[in-house]
Amino acid sequence: MLEIKKLSKQIEGKNIIKSLDFTIKPGQIVALLGPNGAGKTTTIKLLLGLLNPTSGDIKADSISLLEDRKNYLKKIGYVPDEPFFYEELKGIEFLRFTIDLWGNLTYDQDHYNRLIQYLKMESFINDPIYTYSYGMKKKLSLLVSLIHKPNYLIMDEPFNGLDPSTTHNIKNFLYEYSSGETAVLLSTHMLDVAEKFCTHVAIIKDGNLIIFDEIKNIKSENQVTTLEEFFIYSINKEE
């Protein structure tokens, strides 16, 4: 499990995140939702260890970020909204470069070949990255995030700017990825995508967790037909 335990963050005296507390279990695809300024980006930075919490902790399979940062981060993969690459390198060269940065990874050719084939990257993985389309770069970013076989994949706006075919391909891959002992947390503003693709939703506003639950439960218990309807209702209700 990925456990977010009473997580808080102050920046320049302002409470950005206020005692977030929820658990993501294997097999779940969780949408992290909230209005602009809600604290989604700060939450992701805390989960990635890019910011230190003011209080609370995060645990991945009982490994504490605060107590064992190195082994915690081995459990986490990350796909940013705007991936960065050394674009003179070929895709396969950037993959190997990233493996070298980890320092203790064995080059598992079969594992990487399966990922490349599943993501349909065979036609361009040996081309220079500067020739890639935006969708191709998103696929490379996803490939790189999975090289160390993480149990939890964190994604920031994963479907922004993608054509329908690439979106469909990545969704199918993530369904397969999260079907075992793994889970996905994605931050998005695309409520229709979250509703159709994700199993659970976490909604935050002003750094507070409003709800964490299965989407089907939210819709049935609140008698709404869409996640968007509930999101608008819940955000306004809290004001």
55 strand-pairing partners: 8
Mean local confidence (pLDDT), 64-74: 92
Q: What is the distance between the terminal CA atoms of the chain, rounded to a whole angstrom?
A: 32
Range 43-69 average pLDDT: 92
Calculated CA dihedral for residues 118, 123, 128, 132, nearest 10 degrees: -70
The model's confidence at residue 200, banded by pLDDT at 50, 70 and 90, is very high
Backbone angles phi, psi at 175, to 5 degrees: -60, -45
> What band does 118 get if pLDDT is binned at 50, 70 and 90?
confident
**How much of the chain, in percent, has pLDDT values that exceed 70?**
98
**pTM for this predicted structure:** 0.88
- Sign, CA dihedral 164-167-168-169, equals positive
Is beta strand 29-33 parallel, antiparallel or unpaired with respect to 183-187?
parallel
Closest CA to 227 of 87, 93, 28, 33: 33
Residue 108 has pLDDT above 80, yes or no: no
Tokens 């809600």 found at: 38
Go through the chain and tell me how many residues it has: 239
Q: Which one is the CATH code of 2-75+151-237: 3.40.50.300, 3.40.50.620, 3.20.20.110, 3.30.390.50?
A: 3.40.50.300
Report the candidate in 138, 216, 144, 145 with the shortest Cα–Cα distance to residue 171: 138
Question: Tell me: the pLDDT tens digits for 204-237?
Answer: 998 899 989 999 888 888 888 888 888 888 888 7
Read off the pLDDT of each residue in 184-203 and give the average, rounded to a whole number. 89
Give residue limits of the domains in the chain.
Answer: 2-75+151-237, 84-149
Segment 107-128 shows an average pLDDT of 87
- The pLDDT value given to residue 112: 84
pLDDT at 179 over 80: no
